Amino acid sequence: MPSGKAHLRIELLLLAVWSALGAYLILEGWVTWPAVAIFGACYVASIALLSPDLDLVGSRPFKRWGPLRVLWWPYAAVFRHRKLSHQWFFGPLTRVGYVLAWVVVVGIAVGGVGAHDFRIRLPNKEVLAAIALGLYLPNMTHIAADAIQTAAKHGGHGRRR
Ligand SMILES: [Zn+2]
């Protein structure tokens, strides 16, 4: 697999491309600037904290969590490297769901969170799309980079799922 550093570089490079595209779309009046800002924030959070390589204890994204990395041990134990965690659709869902599960567990443990505190109001479609794109694009980039490297290693005949 490409190193954590390589993944980060590729994803940040593409962020520059997406930002330019976002700026263009704002100027054309197709999207609003808050949506692009939300996209950027989710994109950065996704590459920094929700990398598919959280399925590997000791990977760069794993260490990035600092003392909180212990929270990812169960995830790395359950998800085999480059299997479901690297699935383009379900991969990000497993990690977002995993983080939310911890938030709920900690919330209940602290005792301040009861059922009545969960009043979820869905944001509008543009914001939802911005969040989804921000979370998914880096994951797709990561998976594509993994696949390209695997293919290159096997002389262009690399098979992957
Ligand atoms: Zn990977």
Query: Mind giving me the DSSP string for 35-67?
Result: HHHHHHHHHHHHHHH--GGGGSTTSHHHHHTGG
Domain for residue 118, yes or no?
yes
Domain for residue 67, yes or no?
yes
Domain for residue 161, yes or no?
no
Give me the torsion for CA of 55, 59, 60, 64, rounded to 10°. 60
**Gap between the Cα atoms of 128 and 134, Å rounded:** 10
Instruction: Write out the residues surrounding ion ligand 1, Cβ under 5 A.
Output: 1, 52-53, 146
Whole domain around residue 63: which residue ranges? 4-153
The rounded Å distance from CA 117 to ligand 1 centre is 36
The model's pTM is: 0.86
* pLDDT tens-digit series, residues 71-111: 999 999 999 999 999 999 999 999 999 999 999 999 888 88
Domain for residue 159, yes or no?
no
Query: Domain total for the chain?
Result: 1
Tell me what pLDDT residue 160 has: 46
The rounded Å distance from CA 30 to ligand 1 centre is 34
**Gap between the Cα atoms of 72 and 65, Å rounded:** 9
Domain for residue 140, yes or no?
yes
Domain for residue 19, yes or no?
yes
